[in-house]
Amino acid sequence: MPRIVLKIDVDTLRGTREGVPNLARIFDRFKARATFLFSLGPDHTGWALRRVLRPGFLKKVSRTSVVEHYGVKQLMYGVLLPGPDIGRRATAEMRAIHEAGFECGIHTWDHVYWQDNVRARGREWTAGEMQKSFARFVDIFGAPPATHGSAGWQMNEHAFEQIDAWGMRYASDGRGHSPYRPVVGGKTLAHVQLPTTLPTLDELLGVDGCDESNVARRLLSATEHSPRDQVFTLHAELEGQKLAPIFEQLLAGWHAQGHTFATMGDYHAALDRNELPSYPVTWGEIPGRSGELIVQPD
pLDDT band at 71; cut points 50, 70, 90: low
Tell me the pTM.
Answer: 0.90
Average the pLDDT over 60-70 and give the result. 49
Res. 69: pLDDT tops 80: no
Res. 51: pLDDT tops 80: no
Phi, psi of 243 (to 5 degrees): -90, 10
Res. 287: pLDDT tops 70: yes
- Please name which of 176, 207, 204 lies closest in space to residue 192, comparing C-alpha atoms: 176
pLDDT band at 68; cut points 50, 70, 90: low
Point out the least confidently predicted range of 78-82, 252-256, 272-276. Answer: 78-82
Higher per-residue pLDDT: 241 or 83: 241
- Residues 107-127 have pLDDT tens digits of 999 999 999 999 999 999 999
What CATH number should be reported for the domain holding residue 80?
3.20.20.370
Q: What's the domain range around 9?
A: 3-295
DSSP 213: T
Type of residue at 244: A
Type of residue at 287: P
Residue 53: the pLDDT is 41
- Residues 191-235 have pLDDT tens digits of 999 999 999 999 999 999 999 999 999 999 999 988 999 999 999
Res. 239: pLDDT tops 50: yes
Confirm if 174 and 182 have CB atoms less than 8 A apart: no
Q: Where on the phi/psi map is residue 86: left (φ > 0), alpha (ψ -120 to 50), or beta?
A: alpha
| Pairing assessment for the beta strands 282-284 and 3-10 based on DSSP bridges | unpaired
Type of residue at 290: S
Using only C-alpha atoms, what is the Rg of the chain? 18
Point out the least confidently predicted range of 55-69, 83-97, 137-151. Answer: 55-69
Res. 78: pLDDT tops 70: no
- Concatenating the DSSP letter of every residue in 236-296 gives TTTTTTTTHHHHHHHHHHHHHHT-EEE-HHHHHHTS-GGG--EEE-EEE--TTS-S-EEE-
Residue 44: the pLDDT is 74
Point out the least confidently predicted range of 158-162, 171-175, 289-293. Answer: 289-293
| Pairing assessment for the beta strands 103-108 and 35-39 based on DSSP bridges | parallel
Confirm if 76 and 46 have CB atoms less than 8 A apart: yes
Confirm if 147 and 105 have CB atoms less than 8 A apart: yes
Residue 57: the pLDDT is 43
Higher per-residue pLDDT: 76 or 20: 20
pLDDT band at 81; cut points 50, 70, 90: low
Higher per-residue pLDDT: 47 or 85: 85
Confirm if 126 and 145 have CB atoms less than 8 A apart: no
In percent, the amount of the chain with pLDDT more than 90 equals: 84
Res. 298: pLDDT tops 80: yes
Mean pLDDT (the chain, rounded): 91
Residue 222: the pLDDT is 94
Confirm if 224 and 2 have CB atoms less than 8 A apart: no
How many structural domains are present in the chain?
A: 1
Higher per-residue pLDDT: 235 or 61: 235
The enclosing H or E element of 103 equals strand 103-108
